[in-house]
Structure 1
Amino acid sequence: MKMPFFITDLTSALSFLTRLRVPDLLMAEMPAGARAAWAYPLAGAIATILPAIALAGFVWLGASPLLAALIAVLISIMICGGLHEDGLADAADGLFGGRDRETALAIMKDSHCGVFGVTAIVLSLLLRAAALAALVPHYGATAAALLFIAGATAGRGSLVLQWTILPAARTDGAAATLGRPGVRTTASAEAIALLLCVALAIAANAFVQVVAALAFAGIASLLFSAFVRKRIAGHTGDTLGAAAQISEIVFLATLVIAT
C-alpha cells in the first residue's frame, strides 16, 4: 500500500534528523530529500517530546531544575544522534578557524574537532540547560517542557530557512545531495513551525514571550546566514545544523530575559 506523501515525508524527516527507528512500511520508495523539509519543524517537535517529559518528570521527582534540564538536553542529543551539535562544532571550527573559503570548507569536512568546535558544543549544552532551568521557576515544569519543544521546533524552522535562502557551498556535500527546498516547501515549514510554537505558547501561558523569542531567533538565524554567505558563499550541512542550534539557544534565552 502506497503511503500518503505527508506520512512518507515526515518519516523521512524523522529518519534523517533523529535516531528514532521508523518502520520501512512508512518510508517512501525514493528518498524524499529536500521535499521533506516542510516536516522538519514537526520532526523536531516529536524528537523533543521525550526530553521534555524527562525535564518535567525529574523536577516533579525533586531534582533541581538545572539537573533536570541537563538530563533533558542530553536525552535530546542522544535521540538526534548529536547531529546538530556536530554541525555546530564543525561550523565553528571552519568559520572561525579558516583563513579563506577553501580552508574553512576543508576544516568543516574534517571529522576532527578543534578548540572552536569544543567550545561551541560546551556552550550550546550549558546555555540550553541554563535557560530551561531558569524557565522552571517562572512557568512551572510542565510549561517549561512545552517551551523546550517550541524551541526545538523554531530551531528546525531556521535550518530550513537557511537551506532555502543560501545556495550549497559544495556540490558534493550532504546538504547538496538532498537538493534545495522550494518556496512552497519552505513556506509550509515556517507556517508549521509558527503554528506549533503559538499552540505551545498558549498552552504554556507565554504567548507574548514566545512571539518575542521567535522574532529574535529569526533575526539571529538571518544574521548567521549572512555571516555564512560572506565566509563561504553558501550553506553546508554543518551550517544548517549550526543554524538550528543558534536559533534554539536564542529562542530559549529570549524567553528567560522576557519573563
Structure 2
Amino acid sequence: MINRFRNEKNKRGAIKIEKKAINILKNILKDEISAFAFTFSFLSRINFGFYKPELLKKSIKYIPLFSFVSGGIIFVSYYISKKFLPHPIPEFLTILIQYLLFNYFHFDGLLDFSDAFLSHKKNREDILKIMDDTKIGSFAVLVGVIYLLAKIELYKSLLPQNTKIIIFSFSAGRLGILASSFLFPKPAKSEGLGYIFLSAGRKTFLLPCIIIFSINFYFFPYETIFSALSSAIFGFLSLRRINGLTGDVLGAICEISEIVFLTTNFVIKSAQF
C-alpha cells in the first residue's frame, strides 16, 4: 500500500515536471518567434504586431534568416512575373515590390544621408539637423534618381541571367548594416532608430554578420568583399563627420552595399566577354 502511494506520488511529480518543462519550452518558442517577427517589424514594412524594443537584442540573431527569407520573397515575385510578363516589366515590378515591402525606409535614409553629407556643412550639429529635416533637398533628388535608374538597369542586365543574385544582393545590404554596426558601434544621437539598434551592443552583431558574410562569400566572393568594404568606408566616414552612426546612415549603408554588390557583379560579367 505504501509503495503504491509512493508510486502515485512520484507519477504526479513527474507529470508536474513534464508540464513545467513543456510550459518553459512553449515560452521560449513564443519568445523566439516574437523576436523573429520583430525583425520584420523593425527592418521592413511588414508588421506582425511585435514592435517591442525589448525584443531588439534577441531579434538581431535572426537578421540572416530575415535577409534570406525576404530576398527569397523578392526572388519568387520576380520568377513568377517573368513567366507571364515581357522584359523589362518583371524588373520594374521587382524594384517596386522590394521598395514597398523592404527598402522604403533604407532608401529614405539614403536620401537624408545624401542631403546632409553632400552639403557644405562642416559642423556635426548642422549635418544632423539636415538629416532630421523632413524636406527633400536637391542632393537627395539627384542621388535618389541616379540610384534608382542605376539599380533598374542593373536588374535588367543581371536578373535574366542569374536570378538568385537578387537574394544575395538583398542580404548584402543587411550585412552592410551589421558590419558597420559592429565596426563603429557608436550612435551619433541619443535617440532615434539608430540609437535603439546600436544599443543592442557590439558583440550582438558579430555572429549574424559572420553568417551572412560566409554564405554570400561562398556564392559571390568578390561582390561580398567589395560590398562589405563599402559599408566599412561609409561607416568610417559617418564616424568622422558626425561622431557615430544614425538610422539614416545605416539605411544609406544598406542601399549602398546592395548597389555595390550588383555593380561588382556587372563589372565581373562584363569583363568575361
TM-score of the two chains, using structure 1 as the length reference: 0.84
- 1:17 is matched with 43
Q: Which residue of 1 aligns with 2:116?
A: 94
- Does structure 1 residue 180 correspond to structure 2 residue 199? yes
- Aligned counterparts, 1:1-259, within 5 A: 1-4=26-29, 5-22=31-48, 27=50, 31-64=54-87, 66-80=88-102, 82-97=104-119, 99=121, 100-139=123-162, 144=163, 146-166=164-184, 167-197=186-216, 207=219, 210-259=220-269
Instruction: Please identify the structure whose Cα radius of gyration is greater.
Output: 2
Distance 2:64 2:143 in 1: 23
Q: Distance in 1 between matches of 2:165 and 2:138?
A: 31
- In the alignment, the residues of structure 2 paired with residue 30 and residue 254 of structure 1 have an alpha-carbon distance, to the nearest angstrom, of 36
Residues 109 and 2 (structure 1), Cα distance of their counterparts in 2 relative to 1, 3 Å cut: same
5+ residue gaps, structure 1: 202-206
1:157 CA displacement = 1.2
Give yes or no for contact 2:115–2:130 (8 Å, CA) kept in 1: yes
CA RMSD, Structure 1 to Structure 2 (Å): 2.2
Q: Residues 181 and 202 of structure 2 are in contact (CA less than 8 Å); yes or no, is this contact kept in structure 1?
A: no
8 A Cα contact 2:71 2:168, kept in partner: no
Instruction: Find the residue that maps to 1:2 and give its secondary structure.
Output: helix
1:93: how far off?
A: 0.8
Identity %: 24
**C-alpha distance in structure 2 between counterparts of 1:47 and 1:193, whole Å:** 13
Name which structure has the greater RCO, CA cutoff 8 Å, separation 6+.
1
Note the C-alpha offset of 1:103: 0.8
Structure-2 change in CA distance of 1:154 and 1:127 (3 Å) = same
Equivalent residues of 2:159, 2:165 under 8 A apart? no
Instruction: Indicate conservation of the 8 Å contact 1:105/1:232, yes or no.
Output: yes
Bigger shift: 247-256 or 74-83?
Answer: 74-83
| Alpha-carbon distance, 1:195 to partner | 4.3
Q: TM-score, normalised by structure 2?
A: 0.80
Indicate conservation of the 8 Å contact 1:8/1:28, yes or no: no
Q: Is the 8 A contact 2:106 2:251 kept in 1?
A: yes
Q: Matches of 2:51 and 2:133 in 1, distance apart? A: 31
Structure 1 stretch displaced more, 181-190 or 127-136: 181-190
- Residue by residue over 1:19-78, the C-alpha shift from the partner in whole angstroms, topping out at 9 and shown as x without a partner, is 2232x5xx49762224422322332332233322222223222421x3322210110111
User: Which consecutive aligned stretches of 4+ in structure 1 deviate over 6 angstroms post-superposition?
Assistant: none
* C-alpha separation in 2, matches of 1:29 and 1:62: 40
